Amino acid sequence: MTTIFDRIRIVLIATSHPGNIGAAARAMKTMGCKRLVLVSPKSYPDADATARASGADDVLANAIVCENLEQALSGCHYVFGLSARQRTIPWPQMSPRECARYAAEQDSAEIALVFGREHSGLTNDELEACHYHVQIDANPDYASLNLAAAVQILCYEMRMASLEQVAPKDNSLPAPVDELERFFVHLEQVIVEVEFLNPEQPGYIMRRLRRLYTKAQPDKQDINILRGVLSAVQRGRRNNT
Ligand code: SAH
């Protein structure tokens, strides 16, 4: 029987303390979660990671190490970014519980939960690669949890949501994030070409456009249409010059 944890990956970005990687693996395994992806960890494999994983060394042994976030998110339909901080351009928000329910409902979706660095969390660009910003409600005067503690809370909520056996929704899946990223690259290229965006002074335009399209959750066909529109604009310009 497959469980929610067959389609959830926990992504840790640039973790500096290998002990936290081990503690995260342990937090995952206690809840039944098994797929760990490490993006440029500072030191891995490492004896501290193995020691802190305790009996969860199988989660560590199966961890995938990637060079960048894009690789780590390959094939994902929904991406949730964990951050304690509010941003200038707020991203669509969910609580850990809402996030877990949502993940349980999207029956066949591949899902990533992305956690940031111990010292500086997630960058804006990393959060913008996510569909939702998930904030763990905490003491407003001291809201930054230890990385593995944050992983524990999310995995616990995922477990609770999977035990509730929420009825799967018959939604069509959004396009995998790789395709969405290629669309954003193309969109930026075209709005620079038509001089709507000045690359010297980009402001918040791409950020806002990313948020708009990410919220809309376009599927593969929608992306094909949007890419077709962009290509037609490029062809039209070439024919007129
Ligand atoms: N000082 C960092 C916090 C790092 S804590 C900052 O300013 O962002 C390491 C990671 O744990 C964070 O990047 C985030 O993924 C997760 N985390 C810690 N506390 C959290 C909270 N209250 N809500 C959501 N994620 C949290």
Structure confidence by residue, pLDDT tens digits, 173-219: 999 999 999 999 999 999 999 999 999 999 999 999 999 999 999 99
- Cβ of 136 less than 6 Å from ligand 1: yes
Q: Which residues in the chain show pLDDT less than 50?
A: none
- Cβ of 112 less than 6 Å from ligand 1: no
For residues 173 and 75, the answer to whether their CB atoms sit within 8 Å is no
pLDDT value for 36:
98
Cis amide prior to 45 (ω within 30 degrees): yes
Q: Which residue has the tokens 């959830």?
A: 8
Per the DSSP assignment, residues forming a β-bridge with 111 are 8, 78
pLDDT value for 138:
98
Is 177-239 in the same CATH topology as 4-163? no
pLDDT value for 167:
73
- CATH for the stretch 4-163: 3.40.1280.10
Alpha-helical regions (H) of the chain: 18-31, 47-53, 57-61, 69-72, 96-105, 124-128, 147-164, 177-193, 205-216, 220-239
CA of 95 to the centre of ligand 1 (A): 14
Pick the residue whose CA is nearest to atom 5 on ligand 1: 118
CA of 81 to the centre of ligand 1 (A): 10
- Cβ of 143 less than 6 Å from ligand 1: yes
| 177-239 belongs to CATH 3.40.50.720 | no
pLDDT value for 170:
67
- C-alpha distances out from residue 226 to 171, 192, 204, Å: 21, 16, 21
Domain ranges across the chain: 4-163, 177-239
CA of 144 to the centre of ligand 1 (A): 5
pTM (predicted TM-score): 0.95
